[in-house]
Chain A
Amino acid sequence: DIQMTQSPSSLSESVGGRVIITCRTSETISRSLSWYQQRPGKAPNLLIYGASTLQSGVPSRFSGSGSGTEFTLTISSLRPEDFATYYCQQSYRTPFTFGPGTKVDVK
């Protein structure tokens, strides 16, 4: 199975601040990487697929980059509704696997 790691595991930032989350995979997956946002008590919500393509309806302050084994999710200017946990997921090969998550909370 492809192993996923994320860093940091948690971070604190202010509204308006910039956040960068890194996801690494145990083997190369081209650009087959997706990002999800999960708010407390809710299901994960797809933000980005194909490493950098924004899902319909996702604000442009979210962006993704990377290929191979290292990927990043950037939130350019945090809004109150962005305080949540973020997960990466590899879509390269079954079994599909998720990262352990990065919790973003208020500084």
Chain B
Amino acid sequence: NAGVTQTPKFQVLKTGQSMTLQCAQDMNHNSMYWYRQDPGMGLRLIYYSASEGTTDKGEVPNGYNVSRLNKREFSLRLESAAPSQTSVYFCASSEAGGRTSTDTQYFGPGTRLTVL
């Protein structure tokens, strides 16, 4: 089991460029998440997908879009990158993400993105 995988590991963009961060999990989990991690701010939820075919906004969705391609894959797209989006991005998955879920989230290794 690879767990949660993310590509790329590093990326440098110029302001205004677009890119897609890829995430895949092989644990047959229903729920998937995208977070960004900034110094002193912990992890902030960008978007999540409770199940295949559904996506919802998290705490900081502006400037991002997501696609739950299938049960395994959940991609994050930056349409027009800005310096404020310089961050480390983590994808995570859990078995279920409902209201009474206590499921542990499993994290990928992260993508370090710099926007110049």
- Whether both chains belong to one complex is answered with no
A contact set with B: CB distance below 8 Å: none
